[in-house]
Every structure is written in C-alpha cells, then in structure tokens.
C-alpha cells in the first residue's frame, strides 16, 4: 500500500472512529457547561450500545436502533441526575454507580434476553453510506469525509446543533450561567438544578447515541465495549477549550491514535494489552502536555453540587 494511500485510510478510519468520542464528548460538554462533571459517560455509552443493538434487532431499523439507544441512556441519565441532585449526593460517586449499574445490568439483561453474558451478535443490516455513491469518488476527501456512514454525518450535525443550542438560545445561556454562577440563575428566578438535570439528560441522549454508534456498525454487543471512551471524551472536552470545534479536533486526534495503533498491531507485533492501553496513555500524555503548555485548565468543574 502506498504511503499516501495508507494515510488516507488511516484518516478515514479516524473520522469514523471519532464518532462515538465526538458524541460522548458533546454530551460531556453540556454537563461541564452546567457545572457538573459527568463521570457516567462510560455507563451511558454502554447502555446506548446494548439497547441500541437490541432495538435495531427488534425493529429491523438502524435509525430506530439509534433512537432506542439514546432513549435508554437518557432514562438512565435522568435517574442518575435526579438522584444526585435531589439527594444532594456526590456526583462523582453516583457517576461511578451509574457506570457499574450500566455494565452490570447490561450483562444481566443480556443473559436473560439473549442467553449469554458475553458477546452477543445481532442480525442487522449494514449501516448505509448515503453520500458515497455521489461523492465517494473525490480523491482523499471522498474516502475520508463522504464515504462515511450516515451515523458519522449525523454526529457532525449533532456538533453543529449543539453549538447553536449552547451559544444561540436562551436555554443555552441559562445553562452556561448555571455553570458560571448558579446563584445568578436562582436570583433570576430559575432553578439551577433543572438546568443541570437537563444537561445530564442531554448528555445521556448523546452518549447513548455514541454507544449505539459503536454497536450498530459491528452488529454486536461486547461487554464493556466502551473501553474507556467515556473518560477520553471528558479529556477531549477540556482539551477542546469547551468549544464544539475544539472538541471535534481533540476527538479526531485521539481517534487517529487509535486508528494508528490498530494498524500498527498488525506488523509491530505489540502485545494486545499495549494496544488497548494506548488511548489511556495518550489521553494522559495529552492532558499533561496540554496543561504544561498552559493552554488548558484541567481543574474540576463541579463546585456547585456535592
């Protein structure tokens, strides 16, 4: 394979792989802006992956699968958020609880419904690539941008819509205000907790979609298949200066690292554990380098709750 061809393939894989990261990170962005650190992204993604695949299998529609995954994760997010806010519990701990619950209940349900607690395969049709026939022929960009599934395109749309919602609507203004100065929000007559909960539910919808975007193309659910992406998504939120375009860039870089390590596994003969560790190590390195370069504030956001 020519060098340029490999680069294009890697880039295309990266753009595809960044989709779950981008969606999860957008979800993390909403929580972060409202002043709470959402640790439950992992669990929400798992829920989305499991229920998304199950819904798609039951209805025969990939779209309904995505919707089902998002809905399931939104419900979990709503439960986790309400419990945290109403009980005034520590959001880090309840987030861990949500993660544990999501992975445990997925296995329990998987055994119940599908008879196995490990990998479940579904009979799903392939996810379509609507722009490929028309634009897939364009050199480089064709493969990288237009040859992607509609889920990938939808994630970009989600990024744009998120920006509009955050920066250009009253809801977004009040959300940002809740994170910046919650007292101002209650002084103005609104309930900061309502906005925090809304942010958590939105992050559930997005993270659920992220999870579904993992399982649907594979047509399978693998236990703990999110393997740390929820955490990387959080790092991406910080590294991206809490702006959608910055986050997208950070996700792309992480996805590129992941794509490269998959590629390298073939010929570098690295042990599989090493490959699996690369995203975590890369995130840590990025966090350190980013902080040292003085560009990023990696401090904890959620001062208002817990």
Residues found near other proteins in the complex (CB under 8 A): 80, 83, 86-90, 92-94, 96-98, 100-101, 103-105, 107-108, 111-112, 117, 168-170, 172-174, 176-177, 180-181, 183-184, 187-190, 228, 231, 234-235, 271, 273-274, 276-277, 280-281, 283-284, 287-288, 291-292, 297-300, 306
Of the two residues 140 and 180, which places its CB atom closer to other proteins in the complex? 180
Q: How far is the CB of 26 from other proteins (least distance, A)?
A: 18
Q: Which of 119, 26, 13 shows the shortest CA–CA distance to 70? A: 26
Q: Residue 289: enclosing H or E segment and its boundaries?
A: helix 272-292
Q: Are 234 and 36 in contact (CB under 8 A)?
A: no
Q: How far is the CB of 299 from other proteins (least distance, A)?
A: 6
Q: Are 21 and 156 in contact (CB under 8 A)?
A: no
Of the two residues 58 and 89, which places its CB atom closer to other proteins in the complex? 89
Q: How far is the CB of 244 from other proteins (least distance, A)?
A: 16
Q: How far is the CB of 249 from other proteins (least distance, A)?
A: 19
Q: How far is the CB of 81 from other proteins (least distance, A)?
A: 11
Of the two residues 125 and 168, which places its CB atom closer to other proteins in the complex? 168
Q: Which of 200, 233, 230, 238 shows the shortest CA–CA distance to 31? A: 200
Q: Which residues of 76-108 are buried (b: 16+ CB within 10 A; e: fewer)?
A: bbebbbeebbeeeeebbebbebbbebbbeebbe
Q: Which of 283, 257, 262, 258 shows the shortest CA–CA distance to 272? A: 262
Q: How far is the CB of 93 from other proteins (least distance, A)?
A: 5
Of the two residues 111 and 194, which places its CB atom closer to other proteins in the complex? 111
Alpha-carbon span 65 to 139, nearest angstrom: 32
Q: Where are the alpha helices (DSSP H) in 115-191?
A: 132-135, 141, 150-168, 170-180, 182-187
Alpha-carbon span 228 to 21, nearest angstrom: 10
Of the two residues 123 and 188, which places its CB atom closer to other proteins in the complex? 188
Residues in the chain: 306
Of the two residues 92 and 150, which places its CB atom closer to other proteins in the complex? 92
Q: What is the maximum alpha-carbon separation in the chain?
A: 63
Token pair 């993660």 is found at 99
Alpha-carbon span 69 to 236, nearest angstrom: 23
Q: How far is the CB of 83 from other proteins (least distance, A)?
A: 6
Of the two residues 220 and 270, which places its CB atom closer to other proteins in the complex? 270
Of the two residues 66 and 233, which places its CB atom closer to other proteins in the complex? 233
> Taking the CB of residue 251, how many other CB atoms lie within 10 A of it?
32
Q: How far is the CB of 38 from other proteins (least distance, A)?
A: 12
């Amino acid at each position: 394979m020519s060098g340029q061809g490999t680069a294009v393939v890697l880039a295309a894989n990266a753009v595809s792989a960044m989709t779950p990261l981008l969606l999860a990170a957008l979800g993390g962005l909403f929580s972060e802006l409202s002043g709470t650190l959402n640790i439950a992204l992992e669990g929400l993604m798992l829920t989305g992956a499991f229920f998304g695949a199950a819904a798609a299998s039951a209805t025969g529609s990939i779209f309904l699968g995505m919707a089902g995954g998002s809905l399931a994760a939104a419900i979990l997010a709503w439960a986790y958020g309400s419990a945290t806010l109403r009980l005034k519990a520590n959001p880090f701990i309840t987030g861990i609880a949500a993660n544990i619950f999501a992975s445990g209940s997925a296995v329990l349900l998987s055994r119940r419904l599908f008879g196995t607690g490990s990998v479940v395969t579904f009979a799903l049709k392939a996810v379509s690539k609507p722009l490929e026939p028309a634009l897939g022929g364009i050199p480089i960009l064709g493969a990288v941008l237009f040859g992607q599934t509609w889920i990938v395109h939808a994630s970009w749309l989600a990024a744009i819509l998120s920006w509009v919602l955050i920066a250009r609507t009253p809801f977004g203004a009040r959300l940002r205000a809740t994170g910046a100065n919650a007292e101002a929000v209650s002084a103005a007559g609104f309930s900061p907790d309502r906005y925090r909960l809304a942010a958590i539910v939105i992050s559930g919808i997005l993270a659920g979609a992220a999870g579904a975007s993992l399982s649907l193309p594979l047509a399978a659910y693998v236990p703990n298949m999110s393997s740390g992406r929820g955490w990387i998504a959080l790092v991406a939120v910080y590294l991206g200066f809490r702006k959608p375009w910055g986050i997208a860039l950070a996700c792309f870089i992480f996805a590129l690292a992941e794509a490269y390590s998959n590629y390298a596994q073939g010929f570098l003969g690295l042990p599989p554990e090493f490959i699996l560790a690369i995203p975590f190590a890369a995130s840590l390195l990025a966090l350190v380098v980013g902080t040292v370069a003085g560009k990023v504030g990696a401090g904890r956001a959620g001062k208002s709750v817990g």
